[in-house]
């Protein structure tokens, strides 16, 4: 089978159980949902599908359970054009799930159960080495064992690949390994936790991003929700404002951003232009419900740009 892909995405596949509620619940509160959806998700799977919809050949490395949900997830990303040769079934685990509450303004609360995602091993990574060798960029998050994530980064560095790390959830990573990453993408909360600098204003965002540059990370993006994103490299800083849109559901907007940055970097090699596109594409994604169901195609994005 042809394993030639431009981007390899490592990590999680989940089935998302999404409840749309009138407000997010307080501690101990029971709410009745206005609407419910069961949709494919998982940070890595979202990113793989998002990049594929933007016209990039993508391969996925991950694990699901040997159950109905796992079958559905593999079938879904396969239909989206993602190569699933290295998505394995773990007979000892159930498929990962996420339980998501979404408020009318698009804010959400998420509880995940890793399931089979936590059984991804170094051996699984080695079995996908051909895919890695043929690729141009790798994308990973931390919905996997930390030692496996660090191994992926080291292997990708050895093969001179462009490494995009979405450090979510925040896990303490070996500083030497972190400095091997070409592009680190974090949100405000993650940037605060990582640096100890309270990211609350653009100035404090710049301060945190620059601190991460000083730790040896070539390029850092801090995503700022409705305020877009800030890109900091060793020699420049730029803040990208998003277009105004009607926010319906922010689930997977961050994953959409990560995928779009990587996809456009693969297309043209210009990181600033890639971040500019990613801010617009992730803004478009929040206008629709669900995780993967909200991810724009390249045609939808082009139409969105023409309409502005």
- Percentage above 90 pLDDT, the chain: 82
Instruction: For each of the domains in the chain, give its residue range(s) and CATH number, in order of start.
Output: 42-91+118-306 (3.40.1190.20)
Q: Which of 16, 67, 249, 255 is catalytic?
A: 255
User: Tens of pLDDT along 114-129?
Assistant: 999 999 999 999 999 9
308: pLDDT confidence band, cut at 50, 70 and 90?
A: low
The CA-based dihedral angle spanning residues 229, 294, 102, 194, taken in that order and rounded to the nearest 10 degrees:
-30
Residue of 3 and 29 predicted with greater confidence:
29
What pTM was estimated for this model as a whole?
A: 0.91
Would residue 255 show up in a list of annotated catalytic residues for this protein? yes
Inform me whether the pLDDT recorded for 1 exceeds 50: no
Q: Would you state the pLDDT for residue 2? A: 56
Q: Would you state the pLDDT for residue 185? A: 97
User: Tens of pLDDT along 229-240?
Assistant: 999 999 999 999
Compute CA 220 distance to the chain's CA centroid, rounded to the nearest angstrom.
Answer: 15
294: pLDDT confidence band, cut at 50, 70 and 90?
A: confident
Inform me whether the pLDDT recorded for 43 exceeds 60: yes
Inform me whether the pLDDT recorded for 163 exceeds 50: yes
User: Tens of pLDDT along 88-111?
Assistant: 999 999 999 989 999 998 888 988
Nearest of 262, 251, 263 to residue 41 by alpha carbon: 251
- As a whole number, mean pLDDT of residues 200-222 equals 97
Q: In the 3-class helix/strand/coil scheme, how is 86-137 assigned residue by residue?
A: EEEEECCCCCEEEEEEECCCCCEEEEEECHHHHHCCHHHHHHCHHHHHHCCE
Q: Would you state the pLDDT for residue 39? A: 87
Inform me whether the pLDDT recorded for 3 exceeds 70: no
C-alpha span between 257 and 51 (Å, rounded): 10
Tell me the average pLDDT of the chain: 94
Residues 6+ apart with CB under 8 A from 40: 13, 14, 15, 16, 49, 72, 73, 76, 77, 291, 292
User: Tens of pLDDT along 59-89?
Assistant: 999 999 999 999 999 999 999 999 999 999 9
Residue of 307 and 149 predicted with greater confidence:
149
Inform me whether the pLDDT recorded for 299 exceeds 50: yes
């Amino acid at each position: 089978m042809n394993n030639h892909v431009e981007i390899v995405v490592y990590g999680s596949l989940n089935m998302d159980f999404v409840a749309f509620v009138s407000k997010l619940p307080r501690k101990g509160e029971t709410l009745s949902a206005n609407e419910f959806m069961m949709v494919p998700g998982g940070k890595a799977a979202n990113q793989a599908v998002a990049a594929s919809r933007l016209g990039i050949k993508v391969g996925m490395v991950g694990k699901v359970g040997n159950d109905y949900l796992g079958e559905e997830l593999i079938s879904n990303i396969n239909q989206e054009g993602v190569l699933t040769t290295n998505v394995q079934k773990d007979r000892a685990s159930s498929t990962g799930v996420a339980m998501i509450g979404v408020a009318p303004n698009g804010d959400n609360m998420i509880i995940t159960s890793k399931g089979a995602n936590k059984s991804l091993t170094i051996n699984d990574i080695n079995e996908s080495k051909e895919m890695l060798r043929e690729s141009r960029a790798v994308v990973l998050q931390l919905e996997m064992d930390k030692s496996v994530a660090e191994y992926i980064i080291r292997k990708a560095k050895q093969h001179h690949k462009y490494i995009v790390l979405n450090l979510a959830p925040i896990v303490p990573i070996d500083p030497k390994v972190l400095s091997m990453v070409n592009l680190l993408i974090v949100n405000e909360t993650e940037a605060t936790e990582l640096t100890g600098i309270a990211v609350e204003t653009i100035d404090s965002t710049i301060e945190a991003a620059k601190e991460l540059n000083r730790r040896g990370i070539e390029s850092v993006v801090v995503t700022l929700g409705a305020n877009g994103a800030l890109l900091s490299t060793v020699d420049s800083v730029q803040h990208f404002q998003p277009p105004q849109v009607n926010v319906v559901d922010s689930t997977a907007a961050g994953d959409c951003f990560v995928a779009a940055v990587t996809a456009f970097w693969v297309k043209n090699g210009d990181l600033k232009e890639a971040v500019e596109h990613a801010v617009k594409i992730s803004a478009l994604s929040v206008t629709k419900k669900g995780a993967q169901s909200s991810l724009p195609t390249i045609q939808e994005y082009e139409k969105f740009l023409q309409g502005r």
